[in-house]
Amino acid sequence: MEVTRGVPEVIALIWVNTTESWRHSHLAHLLIQTISERLEAQGGRLRTIYHNELEGETLPDLHDVGALFVAGAPRSDFWEKLPENAPRLNLLCKPYPTEGSFLDIDSLHTGYALTQHLLDHGHRRIAFVSNSRKHRSFNSRYLGYYRALDEYELEPQCDWVIRLSQPEDMLVETTRPTSDIELPLAEMLTLPLAFRPTAIVAANDWVAAAIYQYAHRAGVKIPEDLSVVGCDNDPGICDFLKPALTTFSISYIELANDAVDWMLSLVNGKPLLSQPVMMQFRGELIARDSVRHLSET
C-alpha cells in the first residue's frame, strides 16, 4: 500500500443501506466534498461506495483501501466483510458493539433543544411530526422531544404525535413521502381549539415545509396560529420558506473535518481519543420567525 505523508493513498467511505434521497441531499454532498478535499490536501484520495444489503449487493474489492469510514445502517454481520487491519471510523453510522469508534450527531439533544425552545416561548401543547418510524435520527429527535416535555411534567398526547410506519422488511432508514403526513396532520389541526397543539417539532426541514404547505391551504397562519420548528438548516428549503423557519443547524463541514482529524490520528497510530469510543457532535439552534411567544397564561 502506497502511503504519502502518513496518509493511505485510498480511504473509502462506505454508505450502507442509505436512501437515494439522502445520497443526493445537499448535506451528504457537503460531507463527502469536505472529507475528499481534506484527504487530497494530505496526498490521499476518497473512494465513495454505496452498498445496499437489501438488494444482495456484493461489497466491492477493498484490497487497495488503507482505511475506512463506514456510514449508514449496516446489518450486524456487515463488519465481518471488512478488512481486519484497516483503521476504521464509523461516521453517522448505526451503533453496534464493534471494535471501531463512532462519530455521530447527537440527535436526542437536537430534539430536546428544539422542544425546549418552544417551551421557553410559552408553548405547552407541543406536537411532533415525522414521516418515518424507522429513521434512527428522527427517532432520537422524538426521544429528545419527549425528554424535554417530561422535565416540565407534560405528557405528549397521542393525537399530537405523528410518526409514519414503514414496511417491516426494509433495511434502509426509509421515509414516507412528506405529503403522507397531511391526513393525520389535518386530523390534529381540526381538534377543538383547547385540545389543539400550538406548536410542532418537525423531524426535519422537509417535514416542516410540508406542514407549511398544508397550513397555507388550510388557512392556518404560521406563527400566529401555529409555531413550527425544523431541523438541518437545509438551504434548499430554509431559503424559501416564509416566515423564515426556526431550525437546528449541524455544521457538516465541522463534522467532516473532525472525522478526518480522527481518521488521520488512527492511521498514524496516535488516536486522538482512547479507543473504542463514541463521540456525539452537536449543532446550534437558529431562531428565525416561525415561533410565536405565548404568555404563560
- Specify the domain boundaries for CATH 3.40.50.2300 within the chain: 3-106+251-282, 107-249
Tell me: pLDDT of 178 over 90. no
Among the residue ranges 174-178, 203-207, 226-230, 256-260, the one predicted with the least confidence is: 174-178
In this prediction, residues 39-51 reach a mean pLDDT of 95
Fold of 107-249: Rossmann fold (3.40.50)
The 10s digit of each residue's pLDDT in 93-120 is 877 667 778 999 999 999 999 999 999 9
Percent of residues, the chain, with pLDDT higher than 70 = 93
Residue pair 279/101 in contact (Cβ under 8 Å)? The answer is yes
Mean pLDDT value of segment 248-254 = 93
Residue 10 forms beta bridges with which residues?
45
User: Does position 39 have pLDDT exceeding 90, yes or no?
Assistant: yes
pTM listed for this prediction: 0.88
Grid look-up 445520497 returns: 23
How far apart are the two ends of the chain, measured CA to CA in Å?
68
How much is the mean pLDDT over the chain? 89
Only one residue has cell 426494509, namely 170
Can you list the alpha helix ranges (DSSP code H) found in 42-103? Answer: none
Q: Is the pLDDT of residue 77 over 80?
A: yes
pLDDT of residue 296: 47
Count Cα neighbours of 37 within 13 Å in the Cβ-side half-sphere: 9
Q: Which residues contact 291 (CB under 8 A, 6 or more apart)?
A: 117, 118, 121, 199, 223, 227, 228, 229, 246
Sign of torsion over alpha carbons 165, 167, 173, 178: negative
List, in sequence order, every beta strand (DSSP E) within the chain.
Answer: 3-4, 7-8, 10-16, 45-51, 67-72, 88-93, 101-105, 126-130, 161-163, 199-202, 227-229, 247-249, 278-281, 284-286
Cβ contacts of 227 within 8 Å, gap of 6 or more: 118, 121, 123, 198, 199, 200, 290, 291, 292
Check residue 246 and report its DSSP letter. B
3-106+251-282 homologous superfamily: Response regulator (3.40.50.2300)
